[in-house]
Amino acid sequence: MNPAPLAAPEQIRVGIIGLGYVGLPLAVEFGRQLPTLGFDINAARIAELQAGRDHTREVGAAELASAAQLRYSADAAALAGCNVYIVTVPTPIDAAKRPDFTPLLAASRSVGRHLTRGDVVVFESTVYPGATEEVCIPVLEQESGLVYNVDFYAGYSPERINPGDHSRRLPDIVKITSGSAPAAADFVDALYRRIIRAGTHKASSIRVAEAAKVIENTQRDLNIALINELAQIFCKLGLDTQEVLQAAATKWNFLGFRPGLVGGHCIGVDPYYLTHKAQEIGHHPEVILAGRRINDGMGAHVAQRVMRLMTRRRIALVDARVLVLGLTFKENCPDLRNTRVVDVIAELRSYGIAVDVFDPCGDAAQARAEYGLDLLPGLPRDGGYDAIVLAVAHREFAELGAARLRACGRAGAVLFDVKSLLPREDVDERL
């Protein structure tokens, strides 16, 4: 049987599966040029987008309105009219830090039921090298009854969205592309070049593109782990880590990483996909896992430092009150997924400390559902806390300033700045 022909440019109808931080900007860009369906299983998400709102703050109302050819649906049957499918669902890890392909498999099943000859399925979700063809393609074949690279084709173009970063938007970030056959690779590359001003980089294979994505975040994770370990060393030496980093940064090739809590759905997760695959093929990854252990332990390190400061001031830990400012995984972003601020909270509570949390960006319902935390409705004014932990560098906290944040505490309360948001002289310690 001859391979099925690909759609002509004027025949392309795009379906985006998953409308989160990655999928929605993609749907909007394609929806300005091509008939595009934005599909998500969350009916509430579809309703808010149809009303012109995006709670993730990634896309404004004017941008949503500009996508004249974009429509939304929570009904998978609507995918039947598409011939290019782009899958942008999350790829989390389970409790044992193993890849959890549940969302990716569900998306592949939904797409597979609507595949026809000549269709192309592009995956953007971060995986290990080989996962697209080992995990997803068999599901597409089973659901559709079609043959891979004969009846339909695949591509991989890893997402590079940085949530909360409005200076680097989707069209301004170089896009890696790849395809399952030479013609498919050219097709996928041309498709993305329609919306990416920064240009594309066509990889030689899907596996190369998958590997490139997963090491982007692994490299960043390891660099942060090094700085986090240095921060622990400098603390014991009585040195201010930020001062040391500022001095070192005067050398032209010093990399500007900073210590912190490494959470979110990329840096704190993706390395485990690579290490899982490495172990499958008989290689034990030592450096990558060492970096993960350091970063996963930073929440407890922060809590221990706060408690040491409290003890030096003769503040009894049992029944003490601590206010944690910020819960989201990064600044100026409402996303609570895999936030490591919860590790700080858990460590403090394990010592009998009462912890309250305020976050001007985080969603209270999500905090309750995912972590059992009840966010305060506003910044307290009662001055009743023994310590304040500035955990997330939201711009609202910077605007309030140290004096207002200190007003949340009693006289002599500790102010610890995890993100070095405030001037050094205005805090008791910083990471």
Q: Where in the chain is the domain with CATH 3.40.50.720?
A: 9-212, 298-431
Q: Give me the amino acid identity at 397.
A: F
Backbone torsions φ then ψ of 309, nearest 5 degrees: -60, -40
Active site residues: 266
Say whether domain 298-431 belongs to CATH 3.90.1150.10.
no
Report which of 200, 73, 211 is spatially closest to residue 132, judged by C-alpha positions: 211
> What average pLDDT does this structure show over 31-54?
96
pLDDT of residue 215: 96
Binned at pLDDT 50, 70 and 90, residue 163 comes out as confident
Structure tokens at 114: 């609507």
Binned at pLDDT 50, 70 and 90, residue 165 comes out as confident
pLDDT of residue 352: 95
Q: What letter does residue 249 receive in the DSSP assignment? A: T
pLDDT above 80: residue 99: yes
Ranges 142-156, 185-199, 363-377: which has the least confidence: 363-377
Binned at pLDDT 50, 70 and 90, residue 13 comes out as very high
- Give tens-digit pLDDT for 106-120: 999 999 999 999 999
Q: What percent of the chain has pLDDT over 90?
A: 92
pLDDT above 80: residue 153: yes
Q: What letter does residue 93 receive in the DSSP assignment? A: B
Taking residue 166's Cβ as centre, other Cβ atoms within 10 Å add up to 10
CA distance 248 to 246: 6
More confident residue, 203 or 338: 203
CA angle 98, 104, 106 (to 5 degrees): 120
CA distance 168 to 389: 30
pLDDT of residue 9: 93
Binned at pLDDT 50, 70 and 90, residue 166 comes out as confident
pLDDT above 80: residue 1: no
pLDDT of residue 28: 97
pLDDT of residue 168: 86
pLDDT of residue 54: 94
> What average pLDDT does this structure show over 393-398?
94
CA angle 282, 286, 290 (to 5 degrees): 140
pLDDT above 80: residue 380: yes
Q: How many CA atoms lie within 13 A of 366 on its CB side?
A: 14
Bridge partners (DSSP) listed for residue 71: 37
Bridge partners (DSSP) listed for residue 201: 176
Structure tokens at 133: 């063809």
Instruction: Evaluate whether 362 touches 325 at the Cβ level (below 8 Å).
Output: no
pLDDT of residue 381: 83
pLDDT of residue 382: 79
CA distance 10 to 8: 6
**In which element (H, E) is residue 109 found?**
helix 102-112
Q: What percent of the chain has pLDDT over 70?
A: 100
Report which of 136, 120, 118 is spatially closest to residue 128, judged by C-alpha positions: 136
- Give tens-digit pLDDT for 212-225: 999 999 999 999 99
As assigned by CATH, the class of the 9-212 domain is: alpha beta
Nearest 10 degrees: Cα torsion 91, 366, 418, 161:
40
pLDDT of residue 266: 83
Binned at pLDDT 50, 70 and 90, residue 264 comes out as confident
For tokens 């912890």, what's the residue? Answer: 355
